[in-house]
Structure 1
Amino acid sequence: MMRTIIFLMSFLWVSNLNSAPMAKLQLAGKDYHGVDVALYLVSEKLDGVRGYWDGNTMWSKQGHVIHLPPEFIANFPNTSLDGELWAGRGKFEQVQTMLASFQPHQGQKSILTPQPLKYMVFDVPHLDLPFNERYQWALTHLTGINPTLEVIEQYSLTSQHELAHQLDEVIAAGGEGLMLHLASAKYLPGDKQALIKVKPYMDAEATVIGYVAGKKALIGKMGALKVRTANGVEFAIGTGFSLQERNHPPVIGAVITYRYQGLTAKGKPRFASFVRIRSNP
């Protein structure tokens, strides 16, 4: 399965690299402890592929065109949207496979699947309004325009205790976590204060730069991945892999997601564990 996904993903982000959409994205911070939860709107963190709609084209977080069938984007507005291409909890790999199937060289395939792909909108970047007003605008103007587009529900909580309880419920139901959106904040590209991830563990992304050979039972297989973060920190990840992934590890240049539990005194992730491939070069 993983080998198939790697093959498909090698075609996924192949056209029209463009750094402009990346520069427009609002990024999420990770430190939610101590924040006044009552100042935020809360939504579920979806385990999908982020997509920036510029009014005409869908872009990935890495700045590549995401090809979608005409019927999928029918009636999408000619304004910018920020959201997630999502097929349900725990369906990240299925989303990757579906997106790969939409590539022009493979033809436009039907989007009717047992678990339909949707574009889940969580923000409207072009509006110079506070987030709570952008959310209301989205509900008013985007609801019902296409079955493939849905506005993510936002709701209010009053305390860290309520937040922790809600997080437990989402995780128990197979979700990934929550997102906090500062209700009074305008959409600011790159800002990490107005948008905060809430997860039971920390995660991040890094680029594969090499391999460590396996030993003992893993002789002839990949023992660990050598990776580098966007900040230039290099380290090895040796856990979280299936046997198939050790036989066919992520390729050099792939961006992977890993989980960790804080940082060491030298700034390296503590107890880093492989989660999945985010994108291939």
Structure 2
Amino acid sequence: MLNRRLLLAGLLAAVTVPAWAARPALMLADVYKEGVPLADYWVSEKYDGVRGYWDGQRLWTRGGEPVTAPAWFTESLPRTPMDGELWAGRGRFAHAMSTVRSQTAGDAAWREMRFMVFDLPAKPGDFTTRLAALQRLLPLTAAPWIVAVPQQRATTHAALQALMEKTVKMGGEGLMLHRGTSLYRAERTADLLKLKPHDDAEARVIAHVPGKGRHAGRMGALWVEMPDGQRFKLGSGFTDTERAAPPPVGSWVTYRYNGTNPGGLPRFARFLRVREDMPS
């Protein structure tokens, strides 16, 4: 009976989760698959940080939360919107996340951050045109922590795989591919692709499933909802500490998986981390 009440409470809480905040209208990446014609794509490293959007006056996360960066970090930025990644270096996602999320992070934490800019959403023209404008705009002598993401032309699938493996060996997350002729569209699109050694995605927690056996008395699994509305149970990848204090209902989590079944649900999904840059 207790387990049923816990599950029902979680489902009811999911119904009353607040709607999204006013999120920046950002271009979102699809997943690269072999066979994509590569002739018009640019390639860059995929930075494992927090998506940042500069609206010309202040910084925002992808989820629409304001970023409390020190004045010196943003005062030299141009008054034109910029899309990028707030990044602390390879393998330092935790530092980037804690710094961006904190309302009181000091200069020492922000001195280790970079704003890796990869697009100018408000600039007219295709990506190749916007890229040229970005390269004219950056770097800024007064703000070397504002960096235009290096781009190179894609060639072949084999070359992409080799570059991805090299990047990952150096501590990177993977690659991004951006179609040169694409306009900036605030949607998930094949004009922007990610290539990583594993698949991952985000889902919203809608309920906690009580554990059994060795997990009795703590969370056994999460019921999560994908952006397309499909739901599934996420039960592996958690530490005992995470099971004792699981991600709250309404929060977003990232999970890894190995492809999808015919219905589109992820296969062998396992928890990776909480996405604290997305509002509950």
Q: Could you tell me the TM-score, scaled by structure 1's length?
A: 0.86
For 1:225 and 1:85, the matched residues in 2 are separated by 29
| SS class of match (2:233) | strand
Tell me the residue number matched to 1:8.
none
- Identity of matched residues, %: 40
Conservation of the 8 A alpha-carbon contact between 2:58 and 2:74:
no
Q: Is the 8 A contact 1:17 1:65 kept in 2?
A: no
Pairing 1:35–2:31 present: no
**Which residue of 135, 138, 142 corresponds with 1:139?**
135
Q: Offset at 1:204?
A: 0.9
Give the aligned partner of residue 50 of structure 2. 49
1 CA distance for matches of 2:150 and 2:86? 15
**Structure-2 residue corresponding to 1:116:** 112
Asked whether the equivalents of residues 139 and 151 of structure 1 are also in contact (C-alpha less than 8 Å), the reply is yes
In structure 2, the partner of 1:220 is 217
Q: Structure 1 runs of 4+ off > 3 angstroms? A: none
Q: In the alignment, is the contact (CA less than 8 A) between 1:222 and 1:247 conserved in 2?
A: yes
Q: Are the aligned partners of 1:72 and 1:111 in contact in 2 as well (CA < 8 Å)?
A: no
In the alignment, the residues of structure 2 paired with residue 230 and residue 114 of structure 1 have an alpha-carbon distance, to the nearest angstrom, of 32
CA drift of 1:195 comes to 0.6
Q: CA RMSD in A?
A: 1.8
Question: Structure 1 residue 112: deviation in Å?
Answer: 2.4
- Residue 178 of structure 1, aligned match among 175, 180, 203: 175
How do 1:94-173 residues align onto structure 2 when only pairs under 5 Å count? 94-101=95-102, 103=103, 106=104, 109-113=105-109, 116-144=112-140, 145-173=142-170
Find the counterpart in structure 2 of residue 258 from structure 1: 255
Count of aligned pairs between the two proteins: 258
Asked if 2 retains the 8 angstrom alpha-carbon contact of 1:37 and 1:163, the reply is: no
2: CA distance, partners of 1:70 / 1:62: 22
Task: Report the counterpart of residue 11 of structure 2 in structure 1.
Answer: none
Superposed displacement of residue 114, structure 1: 9.2
Aligned counterparts of 2:188 and 2:251: Cα–Cα separation in 1: 26
CA–CA separation in structure 2 for the residues paired with 1:270 and 1:87: 31
Is the 2:50–2:100 contact (alpha carbons within 8 Å) kept by the matching residues of 1? no
Q: Counterparts of 1:166 and 1:202 in 2: how far apart (Å)?
A: 17
Question: Tell me, what secondary structure is at the counterpart of 2:100?
Answer: helix
Alignment correspondent of 2:233: 236
- In structure 1, stretches of 5+ residues that fail to align are 1-15
Q: TM-score, normalised by structure 2?
A: 0.86
